[in-house]
Amino acid sequence: MRRNLIPLLKEGSEGTLRVDYLRIHHLYTLGRELEQVQLTNLHFLLFRGWVSKLEESLSNLLASKQPICLVASEGNRLIASVIIKPINRKGNTWSISFPTIYTTPNYNTLREVKLKLLKYSLNVKANNIINWIIKYPSDSIDELSLVRELGFQPQKMIRSWSTNKNNKYNYNSIDNNINFKWDKINAANSEDLLRIENSAESYQLRSIMGHKSSDILELSNKLTGILYFYNQGKAIAAAGLLKQNFPEDINTFKLIRDVIWDERLHFAIPKIIQDTINKKNRLIIECDSKDDYLNNLLESIGLDEINQKILLGKSNLKRTEKRYSLSQTISFENMLDNLNPPIPSP
């Protein structure tokens, strides 16, 4: 009898796996085995999920901003979750977080759990979702394989750098004689920063992200800004620091610069990093992995490289442009070389 029961459980395993919006009963029936921090985060996400439903019901009046938490469970056991959220003001591009695993499933493989969560995410009927974008660590082979299976294409690679209050930073290259200004992002200069951001991205990635100057304003806070140099008395935008708003991003910022390298950046950026760290000593700064100038500069200052991530996108619009093979035999690096030209040298 016992021998017959095990195959039956395996055959019915798909039925035991349920994916749903995070609901209040999950916190009572599924949250007992979670750590307090995880439970607190889920309470917060539940509240924001309610706000998200309000946004959806008032879509003609309110733009979508709030994240939605989706959970996978077996019976009364919470197995995993993902967070999806809009990343532009228009609400037509959303992002899916890296799956969070709470416990090992009994009747399904982790791959089945992750795949079902991702598929459910892509089928969420939020208003006006046209594009999807995700940012996963480059060494997360299983997860990258799943999203490629679902049609995501690599767009670019990112290097992540971390500050630490225990680090000894090197600001020797700071030159106070360099004439520059660091402005807060506002309606008047957001177009300049949007131009800089777009100059480093492929047409395909720009289309997926769908950023406008209003999105640049949304990505600003007390740490962000735009760097201007003076050329013959005229202020020229050269670089900027933007807040990142992917689901997992906490105190994460993107350092971008104009296409042509300006040697004055070698002296100005360390000063900006110094002032930023003085305001917030724990943060992550991301750069295009192909931008050797910026990455070498951050390394010389004393920041710690923590990982590399791959940005992947998927559009529900029919495209006429060249399709790239997603054969398992092609490396991510080779595909990225095809998708993104190298950043020009000075």
Confidence band, pLDDT 50/70/90 cuts, at residue 340: low
Query: What tokens were used for 2?
Result: 């016992």
Give the integer Cα–Cα distance in Å for 271 and 249. Answer: 24
pLDDT digits (tens, 9 = 90+) for 45-61: 555 555 566 666 555 55
User: Are 194 and 226 in contact, with CB atoms under 8 Å apart?
Assistant: no
pLDDT at res. 36: 56
Strand partners, 181: 228
Mean pLDDT: which of 162-171, 175-184, 204-213, 320-329 is highest?
204-213
Give the integer Cα–Cα distance in Å for 132 and 151. Answer: 10
User: Are 264 and 228 in contact, with CB atoms under 8 Å apart?
Assistant: no
Is it the case that residue 4 has pLDDT exceeding 50? no
Burial class (CB in 10 A: 0-12, 13-18, 19+), 313: buried
Kindly give, in sequence order, each residue whose CB lies less than 8 Å from that of residue 243, ignoring residues fewer than 6 positions away.
Answer: 219, 220, 221, 223, 224, 249, 252, 253, 254
In whole numbers, what is the pLDDT of the chain averaged over residues? 81
Enumerate domains of the chain plus CATH numbers.
12-129 (3.40.630), 159-339 (3.40.630)
pLDDT digits (tens, 9 = 90+) for 174-233: 666 678 899 999 999 999 999 999 998 999 999 999 999 999 999 999 999 999 998 888
Q: Which residue has the higher pLDDT, 43 or 42?
A: 42
Amino acid at 239: A
Q: What is the CA radius of gyration of the chain?
A: 22
pLDDT at res. 125: 66
